[in-house]
Amino acid sequence: MVLSNVEIHKALDEGRLIISPEPSPRQPTSANPDCPYNTTSVDLRLGTTLSIPKSGPFSYDLRKPGIARFLSQNCDHIPIDPVGGYTLKTHQFVLGETLERLTLPIVADGQTLAARIEGKSSFARCGLLVHFTGPDCSRRI
């Protein structure tokens, strides 16, 4: 089942969904008409830093753990200019992350949620894509 914005708010209030910092406002107002809650989703924001892989003869065996540490050590971490943004160069690969952290606690009554992240087509047309992957089947409960 896909939650409506009302059910998303309820899950936040009940602690079944934690988004930190919590996006606001929950409802559009005349003073703040931009609301991150849509009918069945929440818009997350791009964080403040980009990771750009350093050039070089790097290789990594993806069968081994530690890819996050490897990327952290072999990337330049560039702050995004809050006024001017960041100009993506042709054929450049850049890693970003959301400003918000999302947590889906396991709850005893069986009402544990699952979530997925999707990109926005308007941003994809500008070259900003979300990492697409299959579900992590190694962490079954």
Shared domain for 90 and 51, answered yes or no, is: yes
pTM of the model: 0.77
My answer on whether omega of the bond before 82 falls inside 30° of 0, hence cis, is no
As for how many domains the chain has, the answer is 2
Q: What is the pLDDT of residues 36-95, one digit of tens each?
A: 999 999 999 989 999 998 888 778 888 889 888 888 889 999 999 999 999 888 888 888
**Predicted pLDDT at 60:** 82
Shared domain for 113 and 85, answered yes or no, is: no
Shared domain for 38 and 50, answered yes or no, is: no
Angle made by CA atoms 85, 86, 90, in degrees to the nearest 5: 150
Q: What is the pLDDT of residues 80-111, one digit of tens each?
A: 999 999 988 888 888 888 899 999 999 877 67
Asked whether residue 26 is domain-assigned, the answer is yes
Shared domain for 50 and 20, answered yes or no, is: no
Residue 87 structural domain: 46-97
